[in-house]
Amino acid sequence: MAWNARPLKRGEGLDQLIIDSWHQAWPSADIAVTNRGGIRNDLPAGEITVSDLVNLLPFDNTVVMASASGSAIARALTEGGRPVVAGLERQNNRWIFPASGRRLEPDRDYVILLNSFMYAGGDNFGAIREADPDAFDTGIHYRQPFLDWLKASPSSRSAPLVLE
């Protein structure tokens, strides 16, 4: 599937790479969020196998697409248990979209991707479900976007991925 040049550890870029793959897979989404607890292992050096990915992302979560106001999103990100975020970052106590430099506006609705555990209120993310009780569960497993990204990234034993 893919070759990794060196081990990639949780908390050292792997978490962000996973959530960035979600954001890339759904370009219509403004923000993608997952919880660090849903990422269970490091990614070893060498060939990356499906077994590695199952160990990395072992739960039966799916990706949910919801619509929520900026204030609901800010509340969830603040109250939630150390989420990993793509498309939005914290700068000087404000949530900013780095691609445009715009602030997260409290009264504007945004499309947010999150895993089904979080949508159900896990890790104190109930604000998103409250904002959109009829969100769309894509039915796509939460590891699938990362698997797709790995498959699309050309690599081999002689030319491994260099994940930084």
* pLDDT per residue as tens digits for the range 142-159: 999 999 999 998 888 888
In the predicted structure, residue 133 carries a pLDDT above the cut 90: yes
- Residue 160's pLDDT band (boundaries 50, 70, 90)? confident
pLDDT in tens, 60-92: 999 999 999 999 999 999 998 889 999 999 999
In the predicted structure, residue 163 carries a pLDDT above the cut 70: no
- Provide the residue count of the chain: 164
Helix (H) or strand (E) holding 90, with range, is strand 89-91
Average pLDDT over residues 106-120: 98
Q: What is the pLDDT, as a whole number, of residue 158?
A: 86
The helix/strand/coil state of 103 is strand
Identity of the amino acid at 152 = A
- Give the class (CATH, top level) of 2-152: alpha beta
Identity of the amino acid at 53 = L
Instruction: Determine if residue 114 is left, alpha or beta; phi over 0 gives left, psi from -120 to 50 gives alpha, anything else beta.
Output: beta
CB-based burial of residue 102 (10 Å sphere; 0-12 exposed, 13-18 middle, 19+ buried)?
exposed
CA distance 78 to 52: 31
pLDDT in tens, 43-65: 988 999 999 999 999 999 999 99
Instruction: Determine if residue 94 is left, alpha or beta; phi over 0 gives left, psi from -120 to 50 gives alpha, anything else beta.
Output: beta
Q: What is the pLDDT, as a whole number, of residue 64?
A: 98
